[in-house]
Amino acid sequence: MSELSEQTSASKLEHFPITFFAMIMGMTGLTLAWEKAVSVFSAPPIISHVLLTLTACLFLIIVLIYLLKIMLKTRAVLGEFNHPIKLSFFPAFSISLILLSVATLEISKTLSLFVWASGSALHLLFTVYVLNQWIHHPKFQIAHITPAWFIPVVGNILVPIAGVEHGYSEVSWFFFSIGLVYWIILKTLVLNRMIFHDPLSGKMLPTLFILIAPPAVGFISYLKLNGELDSFARVLFYSAMFLILLLLSQLPRFARIKFFMSWWAYSFPLAASAIAAQVMYTTLEQPFFYYLAMILIGLASAVISLLLFRTLLAVIRNEICQPE
C-alpha cells in the first residue's frame, strides 16, 4: 500500500504542469484590482490583504512543488521546456514575480524593488531564450501558435508598472518597447493561424482571453511612462474593451469546454481590464467608466472564484497532474 502511494505521488509530481503559474498571474491581478478599488470604490483594504496573503502562499507552494519536480523529475521538466506550447508558460513564473512586486509596493519598497529586479531580469532571459528557440529550431509548426505565445515576449509590458515607481524610467521604456512591438507581430501570427488554419482545440480555446491582456496592461504601463491620457493610450484601452466584448459574445462556446488548467487564461486578462477601467475612471472621472470598472472587477472576482473552486475540485478528483 505504501509503495502504491509513493508511485502515485511520484506520478503526480511528474505531471505537475508549469501552467500552475498562470494561477498566480490571475490571483495577483485580482489582488491589484482590489488594491486599486480601495481608492476608487472605497473598498475595504482587508480584501486585497487577504488576496495578497493567499496569492503569496499559493506562489510559494507551487514554487516548492516545481523545485521538487526539477530535482526528482528532471526529464519531465526538460520535456515541458522543450515542448512547443508549454515552453511559453515558463515565463509565467517571472511575470508572477513582476506582478508581486507591484502588489508589495505599499508594504515594502525594498522588497518590491528586489522582486521587481529579479522578475524583470529573469523575464528578459526568458524572452531572449524563447525568441532564439522560435528563430532557430525547426520543430515549431503553425498549429503550435496560440495566444499563450504572448506570455514570454509581451509580458515585458508589465515591467514599467513597478519600474517607474522605483525610478527606472529608461529601463521601463526598454521593456515596454519589446512587449509592444512584438505584441503586434505575434498578434498577426496568431490571427493568421486562427483564420487560415485549423481552429484552436477545446483545451487551448481559453487562451483566446490572453488577447485582452497586452492592450489592457499596455494602457496601464503607458500611462505610468507617459503621465497623461493621450490618443495612443485611448487606442490601447478601447482595443482591450472591444476584445472583451468580442470574447464575451462567444460565451456559449466557452461554457461547453471541459475543465483544464488552461481555464486560468481567463483570469489575468479580466483582472487587468478591471484595473484599466479603474485607471480610466480616475483619469476622466466619467460615470460610464465607474460602472464599467465595477462590472469588470465583479466579473473578474466571480470568474477567479469559480476557477479556484474548480481547480480544488479537480485536485480532489485527480483530474489534473495526469498524463496527457
One-letter identity of residue 303: V
Instruction: Note whether residue 323 is domain-resident.
Output: no
What's the mean per-residue pLDDT of the chain? 92
pLDDT of residue 284: 95
Average pLDDT over residues 269-293: 97
Residue 117 lies in a domain: yes
Which CATH number is 277's domain given?
1.50.10.150
Dist. CA 270–CA 53, nearest whole Å: 21
Residue 23 lies inside a defined structural domain of this protein = yes
Asked if the structure places residue 321 within a domain, the reply is no
Selection from 259, 254, 256 nearest residue 313 by Cα: 259
Residue 268 is assigned to a structural domain of this protein: yes
In the structure, what pLDDT confidence band is assigned to residue 9 with cuts at 50, 70 and 90? low
Which range of residues forms the domain containing residue 90? 2-316
Given this model, what pLDDT does residue 66 score? 95
Tell me whether residue 281 is in a domain.
Answer: yes
Neighbours of 265 (CB within 10 A): 29
Instruction: Average the pLDDT over each of 37-41, 149-153, 230-234, 252-256 and give the range with the smallest value.
Output: 252-256
Res. 2: pLDDT tops 90:
no
Residue 10 has pLDDT above 70, yes or no: no
In a domain, 215, yes or no: yes
C-alpha cell of residue 131: 525568441
Mean pLDDT in residue range 57-66? 96
**How many independent structural domains does the chain possess?**
1
